[in-house]
């Protein structure tokens, strides 16, 4: 699973009230009109919309590096804690609590300094040197070290308590971010309530947060369902064809109870995790599952535009330890991307992007055993349509050559999440009313300080980070380290504008000791 920034479902809830017409159709809002609409206004210097890992990291940097008080920051979100969505997606895509996620040892969303790394922390806690040796010899003599999901969850919870994150959190459904006449922004949120909305218990009135600056870290709008999958679910059921990022434990339970065939579609990290779960159920749970694996593009060997930078590949998979080469986060590639515009930037994204998965020795051995025994088979092509016959799914294929049909009990689609910013109501509203623009890859256009271009309002600025900004000057936005780099750039820009502190070496050392000792700030 990739390092999601943590907010998948931020779409309007049914309890959201429509905005008054005089506000709904206005690009600029007057204070008097907002007050006349009966909307309560609360003032705060900085608002972050999203509430996932991106908002948490932003709040952490503002509190620790920027020196802001909890009263100066508000996080608006439908989530109760920053890892709520990320943790859920990790679990349903078959990363166990003790399983390892696809992230670097020093990429710590709870730790501005990256020290101690996850590997060092694990070595100290478990009193063994293995994690440190693995980091020392990776990736030549060992697989890349990656942290356990449970340790990431624990560390973020610890830091959230330390910076008093809950005091900054406002739960509800964000409807819009609009420019204010005179500068700054109104961010409208409908507070979250427990229980059903009825005539005697109407939805709460919206609240407008008036802030100088706004930060957007809304993540992915939702799950991506390919047309054939959507059509099947509308025509038949939600039981036989599932997305890897939705709850689908019933598939594994059924396959453990009786022999069956499952079609896994996709070649990325989600597909790898699903395959691992299916294989483990065979090895340890006694399942007799037959696995058919569908690749849209079958990778047979190392590939790439340059002989010196070819990505390993084979048996259908493209192998890469992390989402991107490490130079994306702080090397030559990051420096190079900062100078590219338009098609030149698209070309580099095409060169370094694509679906990849880490190479794991044990997993490769298990797949080879499956090929030899006949219970794992790979196919190449696309699905033309799916239909249900006698409680069996028939997938009609369009391979490179002749059309074929595959009969399976279940289909698990691992083709990813929905990245279209038009599908997110807040981003769609900003494109229509807020002056936001698209970058060369169609997502939000931000500059190198992560300011959202075209959305300036007086001295106010909108910043954006995470998946919604993919295609900008910094490719690694949708990762833990990428979110930290974005937050660092935003805080530096705020400091240059005189709205928060700079953190020098002495204060940085003092703050690290506070972090290490768990001192609340």
- Supply the pLDDT for residue 16: 58
Tell me which of 315 and 213 has the higher pLDDT. 213
Nearest-angstrom CA–CA distance, 186 and 207: 9
Name the token pair of 361.
Answer: 């020795």
Nearest-angstrom CA–CA distance, 185 and 163: 25
CATH code for the part of the protein at 225-300+356-415? 3.50.50.60
Nearest-angstrom CA–CA distance, 349 and 343: 10
| Strand residues in 19-152 grouped as ranges (E) | 28-29, 40-43, 46-49, 73-77
- Chain center to CA of 507: 31
State yes or no: cis peptide before 447, omega within 30 of 0.
Answer: no
Task: Give 194-214 pLDDT, tens digit per residue.
Answer: 767 666 667 788 999 999 999
Task: Give 324-367 pLDDT, tens digit per residue.
Answer: 777 777 778 888 888 889 998 988 888 877 788 887 888 888 89
- Supply the pLDDT for residue 304: 63
Tell me which of 282 and 325 has the higher pLDDT. 282
| Nearest alpha-carbon partner for 521 in 14, 175, 70, 81 | 70
Task: Give 70-97 pLDDT, tens digit per residue.
Answer: 999 999 999 999 999 999 999 999 999 9
In the chain, % of residues over pLDDT 70: 93
- Supply the pLDDT for residue 335: 83
Nearest-angstrom CA–CA distance, 14 and 7: 18
Burial of 299: CB neighbours in 10 Å, binned 0-12, 13-18, 19+: buried
In the chain, % of residues over pLDDT 90: 70
* 3-class SS letters over 199-220: CCCCCCCCEEEEECEEEECCCC
* CATH 3.50.50.60 boundaries in the chain: 21-102+149-193+202-222+420-506, 225-300+356-415
CATH code for the part of the protein at 21-102+149-193+202-222+420-506? 3.50.50.60
């Amino acid at each position: 699973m990739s390092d999601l920034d943590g907010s998948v479902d931020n779409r309007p809830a049914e309890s959201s009230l429509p905005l008054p017409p005089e506000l709904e159709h206005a690009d600029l809002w007057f204070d008097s009109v907002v007050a006349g609409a009966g909307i309560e206004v609360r003032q705060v210097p900085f608002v972050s919309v999203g509430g996932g890992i991106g908002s948490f990291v932003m709040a952490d940097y503002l509190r620790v590096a920027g020196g802001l008080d909890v009263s100066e920051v508000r996080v608006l979100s439908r989530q109760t804690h920053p890892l709520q969505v990320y943790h859920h997606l990790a679990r349903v895509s078959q990363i166990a609590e003790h399983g390892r996620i696809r992230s670097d040892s020093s990429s710590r969303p709870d730790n501005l300094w990256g020290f101690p790394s996850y590997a060092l922390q694990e070595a100290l806690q478990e009193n063994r040197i293995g994690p440190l040796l693995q980091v020392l010899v990776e990736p030549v003599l060992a697989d890349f070290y990656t942290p356990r999901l449970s340790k990431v969850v624990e560390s973020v919870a610890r830091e959230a308590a330390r910076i008093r994150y809950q005091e900054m959190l406002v739960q509800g459904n964000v409807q819009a971010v609009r420019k204010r006449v005179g500068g700054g922004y109104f961010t409208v949120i409908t507070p979250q309530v427990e229980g059903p909305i009825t005539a005697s218990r109407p939805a709460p009135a919206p609240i407008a947060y008036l802030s100088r600056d706004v930060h957007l870290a809304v993540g992915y709008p939702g799950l991506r369902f390919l047309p054939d999958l959507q059509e099947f679910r509308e025509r038949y059921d939600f039981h036989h064809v599932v997305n890897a990022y939705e709850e689908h434990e019933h598939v594994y339970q059924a396959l453990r109870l009786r022999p069956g065939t499952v079609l896994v579609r996709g070649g990325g990290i989600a597909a790898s995790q699903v395959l691992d779960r299916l294989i483990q159920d065979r090895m340890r749970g006694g399942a007799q599952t037959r696995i058919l694996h569908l690749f849209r593009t079958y990778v047979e060997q190392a590939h790439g535009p340059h002989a010196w930078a070819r990505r390993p590949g084979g048996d259908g998979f493209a192998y890469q330890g992390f989402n991107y080469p490490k130079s994306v986060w702080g090397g030559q590639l990051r420096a190079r991307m900062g100078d590219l515009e338009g098609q030149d930037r698209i070309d580099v994204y095409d060169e370094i992007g694509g679906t990849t998965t880490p190479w794991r020795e044990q997993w490769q051995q298990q797949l080879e055993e499956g090929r030899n025994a006949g219970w794992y088979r790979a196919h190449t092509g696309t699905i033309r349509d799916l239909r249900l016959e006698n409680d069996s799914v028939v997938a009609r294929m369009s391979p490179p050559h002749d059309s074929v049909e595959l009969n399976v009990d279940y289909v698990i689609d691992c083709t990813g999440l929905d990245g279209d910013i038009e599908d997110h109501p807040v981003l769609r509203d900003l494109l229509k009313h807020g002056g936001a623009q698209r970058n060369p890859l169609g997502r939000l256009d931000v500059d190198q300080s992560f300011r959202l271009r075209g959305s300036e309002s007086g001295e106010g600025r909108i910043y954006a980070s995470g998946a919604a900004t993919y295609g900008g000057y910094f490719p690694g936005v949708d990762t833990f380290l990428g979110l930290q780099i974005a937050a660092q750039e935003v805080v530096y820009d705020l400091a240059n504008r005189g709205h928060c502190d700079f953190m020098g070496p002495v204060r940085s050392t003092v703050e690290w000791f506070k972090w290490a000792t768990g001192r609340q700030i």
